[in-house]
């Protein structure tokens, strides 16, 4: 099987429309497509991704070293090859890594069906109103590193398959199970129905210290947005958990808070 190599000389060539101006109009949310950038994430996409990869766009100087692996894992999908100047014009920004790929995600299943399908999952991470793509990527990387089984993001949260989120996640967003798009109420109801004990992270003084909390067998750790955090109603929907800290700051970065909360399971075990 040989790679389907397609030379590109015109940045307006309609065959590479998926890659046009990705800086201004990321594909996430449009036709269920998304963009992968860089060698690390491409390697993950080739070997572990849950999503179909439809095409690859390479700087000509990167092609010879990457084509064998692309061919091994993806067969004869289109591999567009072009010069750096043309690639930058296509994407709308300098693509220093010289590697882009286009993937496609399926429509998500109903939330309850998705949770039921997580056979044996003991630790879920839940994001409510998470709008920062760097934090989204960091949360996935922390989950993969510290043993969370899956991630659940509500409809107000950003898509973890945004180009920058995938990159910050070191590609873990491509293989770690996640569900995105339900309302917060539906999220809390689904967790309860599935038998998860909910920890709602908050810096409030009246919350239980993370280091004094008894870890349940099935746990969902719920994170709120940077700044406002979870609402009072959402906090009351589970056990309010705080991370003790000095009085110099009032809260931690959401991804940092998650890493601490997940790591306790090992130190306490």
Q: Return the CATH number at 180.
A: 3.40.1280.10
Tens of pLDDT, residues 127-144: 999 999 999 999 999 999
Rounded to two decimals, the pTM is 0.92
Tokens read off for 256: 């940092």
Does 204 lie in the same domain as 97? no
CATH of the domain at 42: 3.30.1330.30
Does 180 lie in the same domain as 92? no
**What would the mean pLDDT of 67-94 be, rounded to a whole number?**
91
DSSP state of 168: H
pLDDT above 60 for 62: yes
Tens of pLDDT, residues 176-210: 999 999 999 999 999 999 999 999 999 999 999 99
Does 26 lie in the same domain as 120? no
Domain boundary among 104, 131, 157: 104
Q: Which pLDDT does position 14 carry in this prediction?
A: 92
Does 135 lie in the same domain as 255? yes
Measured distance CA(115)–CA(194) in Å, rounded: 7
Does 98 lie in the same domain as 115? no
**What would the mean pLDDT of 249-257 be, rounded to a whole number?**
89
**What would the mean pLDDT of 61-90 be, rounded to a whole number?**
91
Alpha carbon distances (Å) from 58 to 5, 90, 124, 233: 10, 12, 36, 49
pLDDT above 70 for 110: yes
Measured distance CA(47)–CA(70) in Å, rounded: 10
pLDDT above 60 for 267: no
Instruction: Report whether 202 contacts 238 (CB < 8 A).
Output: no
**What would the mean pLDDT of 11-34 be, rounded to a whole number?**
78
Domain boundary among 82, 104, 126: 104
Name the average pLDDT for the chain. Answer: 91
Does 147 lie in the same domain as 22? no
Domain boundary among 74, 104, 134: 104
Does 145 lie in the same domain as 92? no
Q: Which domain holds residue 231?
A: 111-267
Q: Which pLDDT does position 24 carry in this prediction?
A: 54
Based on the structure, what is the number of domains in the chain? 2
Does 232 lie in the same domain as 136? yes
Does 40 lie in the same domain as 21? yes
């Amino acid at each position: 099987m040989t790679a389907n190599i397609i030379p590109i000389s015109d940045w307006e060539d309609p065959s590479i429309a998926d890659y046009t101006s990705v800086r201004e109009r990321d594909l996430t949310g449009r036709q269920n497509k998304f963009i992968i950038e860089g060698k690390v994430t491409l390697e993950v996409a080739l070997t572990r991704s849950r999503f179909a990869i439809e095409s690859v766009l390479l700087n000509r100087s990167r092609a010879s070293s990457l084509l064998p692996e692309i061919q091994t894992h993806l067969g004869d999908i289109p591999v567009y090859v072009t010069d750096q100047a043309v690639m930058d014009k296509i994407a709308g920004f300098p693509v220093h890594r010289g590697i882009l790929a286009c993937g496609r995600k399926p429509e998500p299943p109903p939330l309850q069906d998705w949770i039921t399908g997580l056979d044996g999952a003991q630790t879920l991470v839940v994001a409510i109103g998470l709008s920062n793509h760097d934090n989204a990527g960091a949360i996935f990387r922390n989950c993969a590193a510290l043993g969370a089984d899956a991630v659940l993001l509500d409809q107000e949260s950003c898509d973890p398959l945004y180009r920058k989120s995938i990159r910050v996640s070191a590609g873990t967003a491509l293989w770690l199970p996640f569900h995105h798009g339900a309302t917060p109420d539906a999220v809390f109801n689904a967790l309860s129905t599935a038998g998860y004990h909910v920890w709602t992270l908050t810096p409030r003084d009246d919350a239980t210290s993370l280091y004094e909390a008894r870890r349940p067998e099935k746990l969902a750790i719920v994170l709120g947005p940077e700044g406002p955090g979870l609402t009072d109603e959402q906090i009351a929907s589970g056990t309010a958990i705080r991370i003790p800290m000095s009085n110099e700051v009032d809260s931690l970065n959401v991804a940092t808070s998650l890493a601490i909360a997940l790591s306790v399971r090992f130190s306490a075990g």
